[in-house]
Amino acid sequence: MLGHVAEDLLASHNREYDVEPPYDIAEAGDLPADRFSDRELSWLAFNQRVLELAENELVPLLERAKFLAIFASNLDEFFMVRVAGLKRRIAAGVAVPAASGLLPREVLDRSLSRSRELMDRQAESWRKVVLPALVEEGIDILRWDELNLSERDDMSRFFAERIFPVLTPLAVDPSHPFPYISGLSLNLAVVVRNPTTGGEHFARVKVPPLLPRFVKVAEGRYVPLEDVMAEHLGQLFPGMEVTQHHTFRVTRNEDLEVEEDDAENLLAALEKELLRRKFGPPVRLEVEESIDPQVRALLLSELGVTEAEVFELPGPLDLRGLFAIASLDRAELKYPGFVPSTHPHLAEVETANPADMFHALNQRDVLVHHPYDSFSTSVQRFIEQAAADPQVLAIKQTLYRTSGDSPIVDALIDAAEAGKQVLVLVEIQARFDEQANIKWARQLEHAGCHVVYGVIGLKTHCKLSMVVRDEPDGLRRYAHLGTGNYHPKTARLYEDLGLLTSDPVVTEDVAHLFNHLSGFSLRSGYRRLLVAPQGVRTGLLERIEREVQHHLAGRPARVRLKVNSLVDEALSDALYRASQAGVPVDLWIRGICTIRPGIPGLSDNIRVRSVLGRFLEHSRIFWFENGGEPVVAIGSADLMHRNLDRRVETLVWLKEPDHLTELGDLFDLGFDEGTSSWWLQADDTWVAHQTDDDGKPLRDLQERLIATRGRRRQTEPIS
């Protein structure tokens, strides 16, 4: 246990992170009570937009299959976290309405109903749209009855050699209780009859998760793994008659709850909680629509799910397996190939090799835009060069999510082994990456890195890297501040921004923030950063109010925000008031948005757009017109309670005119009516704008950026 002195220090440290009481939306009495849509239903609307990409014939076919898989994966997480949370609140007797005015029970009922509609739509999109299109392209996803005799023989051999050895049938009888069904596992419910006694028995057989979800039968022909298993169940129950088999799948509460009392040994507490995750209560049961009523009733009874939590669907269940189909080597059925290029300010003139990062950053700040600008020759190169440079004395790094074979982790280990001071702040509570982050944390510790786990009661979500280098004129700091994780693989799929800089003001701010995170610093003020939970909400509120004052004084005023989600009521109300004052407000939101635009007298001046495509729009940009001299920030924070109150987040104000121009052009492109996007309406519906009046496709923003990035590299001067 901590000693009394340490406890006192810890208490004073945590008081710095005390947040104001939750914003009382009733205080805004002059604003209508129904001004917010529900965040859970808004998230489901986002996943509907993902589904619409799967239905869009303008999207390459295998990409449409992938979007079906993404939709399924997204919905799994929604149930594991959001639906599970609603059920916890209801069970605890929480009767406080959400900002939308809905009680937890109402939100749960509407979420289940809407989820049912979307799952039915997904199944229909698969069976009637995507599957027939795949067949036309020579990719057949078959059921067992559609295989020819030769293929059935091949699958029988495959079953005997690859499947049968790993199967474990679990019977249910007085001596065998109903087995535990792990979350997201695919299972066969089997009914067998004893031919001697006539007695019937129930058994469960788990579909092995490490075998291919769709088994390749022949070139271009695949069959679901559970179909192969179902046809050979007699081999698992010799002497018995298999009378029924039905596929089912359970989703469980898999959100983690680590008690703050355990925080002094957070690593051990989290590992213990990860074990509990496997045994979370069920929140959804998916069954094939052909299931026998008695088997269905048995599953409901034994699993403890309600009728509203049962989803009957046509097979095959669990379309996440389509990720494998989407990865087939059929380039003509995918988005055109794209290879990120080195940012021109980070490439040598003659050789086009990666530049000396420290020399380049002494010349200017560099704003990188991934995946259009290569992550490996910018951010990764920055850390790798620092690890190898004998003049570098120290590296400080935050890690929220990273990949299993991360060159970032390897570089940090190399730096520590070379004798450099390496501090790594690992967020081991990054949802669904906890186990991996524990592994990397221990690996870094064993290599000699100083590993810390952030601040008790908060997640460290900011994206920061700092290098301290001994140079002829003294020590100099270099930093990277980004909107996305240090994850080389997702950096090729996620759209993000990052600032590479040696600006002494920014790097001093970053240094103080690292000291705050790893020690007992009481500093809360920064010159070029906004830091949550103390400063992001208040800083943005001040900026919005300044825009109102600029507008009232007749100066140029405008607010433009690009975030993944907008939920925070205080900021939303500030945007409503800015709109009422006449300030144009443009909101570029990928996911959740609880603001209602276009309501007369309230949000006439608010526009909300959403862009989805081959890359996941993930950057966060905060633009304020500021009387004609724009101030712009990028950072890690979305506008949600968890980001602003329960996480360490950072925004950095940009100062280079060309960076402001680049981001201004990006906003102009995103809100141009010739750009394909979804538009949010006052009634909470999203309308797709993907073709013009003549039916021609509108501009694909991401494809345009790929093209313009290429042209920029051909024309822009390189230092």
> Which of 245, 370, 461, 487 is flagged as catalytic?
461
State the burial class of residue 452 (Cβ atoms within 10 Å of its Cβ: 0-12, 13-18, 19+).
middle
CA of residue 330 relative to chain centroid, distance = 27
Q: What are the structure tokens assigned to 242, written together?
A: 């298999």
269 is written with which tokens?
């507490």
Chain centroid to CA 694: 36
Is 480 one of the annotated active-site residues of the chain? no
Distance separating alpha carbons of residues 502 and 126, to the nearest angstrom: 51
User: b/e string for 478-495 if b means 16 or more Cβ within 10 A?
Assistant: bbbbbbbbbbbebbbebb
Task: Name the residue with tokens 């992001």.
Answer: 536
Per-residue DSSP letter, 318: -
9/288 Cα distance (integer angstroms)? 57
**3-state class (DSSP) for residue 512:** helix
Q: Pick the closest to residue 528 from 515, 547, 510 (CA basis).
A: 510
Written as one letter, the residue type at 13 is H
Q: Which two tokens stand for residue 90?
A: 């209801």
3-state secondary structure of 505: helix
Taking the alpha carbons of 641, 644, 648, 649 in that order, is the dihedral positive or negative?
Answer: positive
SS3 52: helix
Strand 310-313 versus strand 366-370 pairing type: unpaired
Start-to-end Cα distance in the chain: 55
DSSP output for 342-398: --GGGB-TTT-PBP-HHHHHHH--EEEEETTB-SIIIIIHHHHHHHH-TTEEEEEEE
Minimal CA–CA distance to 302: which of 285, 290, 317, 316?
Answer: 285
By DSSP bridging, strand 585-589 and strand 606-610 are parallel
Which residues are paired to 127 by β-bridges? Answer: none
Can you tell me whether residue 465 is helix, strand or coil? Answer: strand
Q: What are phi and psi of 55, to 5 degrees?
A: -90, -10
Instruction: Return the ∠ at Cα 620 (arms to 370 and 57), rounded to 5°.
Output: 65
Please tell me the distance from the alpha carbon of residue 382 to that of residue 604, in angstroms, as a whole number: 45
- Which string of b and e fits 655-666 if b means at least 16 CB within 10 Å? beeebbebbbeb
Catalytic positions are: 461
